[in-house]
């Protein structure tokens, strides 16, 4: 992606920091964050589709998955999916 605003890079860094931080009864790991809080981190009144795409890209580059759930976002480690079972052709028939 090109021309990603610096404030979105800082938001992605902060989202990664949150993943590694202890809160909500867990030492670290996946979490959800409201759109309102992401807007606050970005110091913006609105998040546009291009902003969400940029954050998704930046987070993936850092090894995390950023999922837009409409009213909130979910952050997971990309490694979470490594051990998922795989579908093969035989499973489809």
Q: Tell me what pLDDT residue 93 has.
A: 87
Domain layout of the chain by residue ranges? 6-81
Q: Answer yes or no: pTM beyond 0.85.
A: yes
What's the CATH number for 6-81? 3.30.1370
Q: How far apart are CA 34 and CA 40, in angstroms?
A: 10
Q: How many CA atoms lie less than 13 Å away from 38 in the CB half-sphere?
A: 28
Q: Tell me what pLDDT residue 22 has.
A: 95
Q: Tell me the per-residue pLDDT of 47-82, one tens digit each, with 9 for 90 and over.
A: 999 999 999 999 999 999 999 999 999 999 999 888
Check whether 45 has a pLDDT greater than 70.
yes
Q: Tell me what pLDDT residue 1 has.
A: 65
């Amino acid at each position: 992606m090109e021309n990603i605003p610096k404030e979105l890079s800082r938001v992605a860094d902060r989202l990664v920091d949150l993943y590694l931080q202890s809160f909500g009864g867990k030492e670290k790991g996946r979490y959800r964050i409201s759109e309102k809080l992401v807007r606050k981190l970005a110091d913006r009144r609105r998040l546009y589709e291009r902003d969400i795409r940029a954050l998704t890209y930046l987070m993936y580059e850092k090894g995390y998955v950023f999922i837009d759930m409409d009213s909130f976002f979910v952050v997971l480690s990309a490694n979470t999916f490594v051990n998922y079972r795989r579908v093969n052709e035989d499973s489809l028939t």
